[in-house]
Structure 1
Amino acid sequence: MTVRIAVLDDYQRVAPAMADWAGELPAGTSVDHFGRHIADEGELVAALAPFEVVVAMRERTPFPRSVLAKLPRLRLLVTTGMVNASIDLASARELGVTVCGTRSRPSGTAELTWALILGLVRDVAGNEARLRAGQWQTAVAQDLYGETLGVVGLGRLGGRVAAIGAAFGMDVVAWSPRLTAEAAAEHGARLVDKAELFATAKVATIHLVLGDRSRGLVGAAELGAMREDAYLVNTSRFGIIDADALRAALTGTPRPAGVALDVFDTEPLPEDHWLRSAPRTLLSPHMGFVTAENYRVFYGDAVADIAAFLADPSRPLRPLA
């Protein structure tokens, strides 16, 4: 019996080369790679109906109960990474679908965070556009040395970002709901409350997991408290920022001076989305985790998850549900 495997959202069409699919999987398996995102739920269900195994790239394709319940052949759902808020784990358990995760590298998102910070502060994209248009040195940039970096969420990603801020000579402050002064100090940061962080930081950068308590955590009060020369960076999840408050701040107030986003409420970002034309923004297409090294970990572990499950469904690797 042939086991059919679907690999979703391979936008760059690189998944086949990132792991040894043929060598590691048993005979009798076939792998189909989907390079086009399928947003329509009905189309998604129809496309996945023949497959026993699905590999999802992060949270690009949601798997709510309404999808899982219509895929009776599905036995294993592998998500890259160990957290995926777009999969209804409770429904997967109830419907008998095993969900497994993979390891990941934290370095890519931290590095992109600093690319966005420097891109904002030095207006790299704006200066390049003006240079190509025949202009030269039309603005004066700002320094980061001696300024305050505010890190919202000081976990493994936020901690890396904080360390780089310290290397730039910045005063690093941090806040999250359960952060302690001792834990902040371990990362070379100083614990402050949320209000102080947003009022004093030259750069505020978000590194929290999206959940009920963090959804809309950065709203009108936080944005309105920021300095007029301050910048906000979000490489975590868009929902942590209140969308209406952000739109109002960017179109109706002078603060913050700039906002960099690698995450959005709808992905891929629709062509008519308001953020595509929003002022004072630097946008990247959710590239924090998209590195060759991380993809090799993602897809290599996905293949190992599948091989283990097919060998013995009762002993899955890295099970989430």
Structure 2
Amino acid sequence: MYRVLVTESLSDEGLARLRESTEVDVRVGLSQEELLSIIGGYDALIVRSRTRVTAELLEAGHRLQVVARAGSGVDNIDVEAATRRGVLVVNAPQGNTVAVAEHAVGLMLALARHIPAADAAMKRGDWPKDALIGTELRSKTLGIVGLGRVGTALARRAAGFEMRLVAYDPFVSTEHAARLGVEMVSLDALLRVADFVSIHVPANERTRGLIGAEQLGLMKPTARLINCARGGIVDEVALARALAEGRLAGAALDVFAHEPPGATELVSSPKTVCTPHLAASTEEAQETCALDAAEQVLAALAGKAARYPVNAPIVSSEEMAALQPYLDLATRLGSFMGQMDGGAVGRLEFAYAGEPALHDTALLRSAMLVGLLRLVVDEPVNLVNAGAVAASRGLAVAERREPGAESYTNLLMLRALTTEGEHSVTGSVVRGRPHLVGIDGFWLDFPLEGYLLLSEHIEQPGVLGRMGTLLGEAGVSISFVQVGRWGRGSRGVMVLGLDDPAPPGLLDRIRALPSIRSVRLIKV
């Protein structure tokens, strides 16, 4: 009989399902050393967020076939090490969707009707009936930042309150949004019109500080902000200041940059409603996640397909060796495209030329989707589920193969059709390193790595010199420059490799230069 180790709390229903056909040991609170000493006796491991599944632990678990996360995030699991050892990693991304969406609705109602303040006053013996006049949700505009699983669930529930729905998500098609009754807009436009703003994006380099002082300044003084996603997305100091100065009516927070946050100015503000990271904490969510994890463990041990695999599908070692350089290129190419400005994406086109076209391109397509989507969606994106994640957002995907590769022996091309036009990027493996060799029809050639400053400009003398001066004054070193142009006075693109990230305010100074149409700092 297979043996399953459970190192964190799991619902009775999940444990009962496992015990139908496996031997289950529940050992909560193990130290890493204790876990290392016993893991070799188990075929499966089920964890939540506290247990660290390291490369060392996976190596010690010589019998392990599957590691299951009874929840969504897998930051505590070394997925690459698991893949190298042939250990399947699964998660339960759907289990807490409804719980988080309902918590966002609850916080929205608490803000609108002053429910916590009213309750506290009653417990003090007061009766502040006239002092706590609320507002209705009906006919108000809800702005949803991130229209993934949770954002979509929130939209469906908010529609029942007869709210107007707008959303910002560059990787959701307008057709998908329209089916939900949601209008897709830019982030700035959303912040300007929304009466309530609810955040549902992952925390990463792209979204950290997404809602800062500048963005809060766009919101109406009667607007209210809700964050049930991740700490760090909202600048908490700027938010506390906006509330104290009356530039925002209220905020409800379930997550914080540092948890627990303590009695900060933001938590102590009479204009905030705060909960201790409770959004996913419902009996139903815990049970669903536990059952999803248990079912997938049993399926994996029986040699069947799991519903939510996280790590790479198994391919032959020969095919993987041939594809590996292009997988890295594909992921970086998608990441570069995902960080370009260009409106909401509706259709993606992939092309493979030369050597990559001779192989199974399914993994390459998935790798480009991983790079494109992982900074913007609220669930793990990997080589296994990337296609399904794209489809769930209404993104149309097409691809073609071209055995000939123009002046390069290998090329990968990605084209995105957006609400504002289209963008394309082309990459190649040059001397074993991923290079970007084309942007929007301009031919360039530079290593696709590190910090890259991408600008679109009108080609005139002095553009590069003025940018270089500003970078030098800010103490930022330039490692290379690549310019694509049609001719003087025409549109051009320029990419500068930077040794360090641009300090705050530098991009705004560059944008203010004559002839600069747009500028973006990209990290790959």
Normalised to the residue count of structure 2, the TM-score between the two structures is 0.51
Match of 1:48 among 26, 35, 39: 35
Residue 290 in structure 1 maps to residue 277 in structure 2: no
- Inter-CA distance 226–18: structure 2 relative to 1 (3 Å threshold): same
Residue equivalent to 2:272: 281
Residue equivalent to 1:69: 56
Secondary structure in structure 2 of the residue aligned to 1:113: helix
Please identify, of 79-88 and 187-196, the stretch whose mean Cα deviation from structure 2 is larger: 79-88
Please identify, of 89-98 and 232-241, the stretch whose mean Cα deviation from structure 2 is larger: 89-98
Residue equivalent to 1:16: 12
Give the number of the structure with larger relative contact order, counting CA–CA contacts within 8 Å between residues 6 or more apart: 1
Secondary structure in structure 2 of the residue aligned to 1:92: helix
- Inter-CA distance 70–293: structure 2 relative to 1 (3 Å threshold): closer
- Inter-CA distance 79–22: structure 2 relative to 1 (3 Å threshold): closer
The alpha carbon displacement at 1:274 in A equals 6.5
Secondary structure in structure 2 of the residue aligned to 1:263: coil
Match of 2:89 among 78, 99, 103: 99
Please identify, of 106-115 and 96-105, the stretch whose mean Cα deviation from structure 2 is larger: 96-105
Partner AA of 1:224 in structure 2? G
The alpha carbon displacement at 1:317 in A equals 5.8
Residue 84 in structure 1 maps to residue 74 in structure 2: yes
Unaligned 5+ segments in structure 2 are 312-524
Partner AA of 1:6 in structure 2? V
The alpha carbon displacement at 1:5 in A equals 0.4
* Matched positions, count: 301
Residues 200-279 of structure 1: pairs in structure 2 closer than 5 A: 200-250=193-243, 253-267=245-259, 269=260, 271=262, 276-279=267-270
Check conservation: 1:108, 1:288, Cα contact below 8 A.
Answer: yes
Alignment partners' CA distance in 1, 2:46 and 2:147: 30
The alpha carbon displacement at 1:202 in A equals 0.9
Check conservation: 1:25, 1:306, Cα contact below 8 A.
Answer: no
Secondary structure in structure 2 of the residue aligned to 1:238: coil
Alignment partners' CA distance in 2, 1:55 and 1:292: 18
Residue equivalent to 2:178: 185
Match of 1:301 among 267, 292, 301: 292
For residues 84-104 of structure 1, the C-alpha deviation after alignment (integer angstroms, 9 at most, x for no partner) is: 344342233235543112363
The alpha carbon displacement at 1:107 in A equals 2.0
More strand by percentage = 2
Residue equivalent to 1:146: 139
Normalised to the residue count of structure 1, the TM-score between the two structures is 0.80
**Seq. identity, %:** 30
Match of 1:194 among 178, 187, 194: 187
Residue equivalent to 2:7: 7
Partner AA of 1:288 in structure 2? A
The alpha carbon displacement at 1:226 in A equals 1.6
Check conservation: 2:113, 2:132, Cα contact below 8 A.
Answer: no
CA RMSD of aligned residues (A): 3.0
Residue 155 in structure 1 maps to residue 148 in structure 2: yes
The alpha carbon displacement at 1:139 in A equals 1.9
Alignment partners' CA distance in 2, 1:275 and 1:44: 35
The alpha carbon displacement at 1:152 in A equals 1.0
The alpha carbon displacement at 1:149 in A equals 0.9
Check conservation: 1:24, 1:304, Cα contact below 8 A.
Answer: no
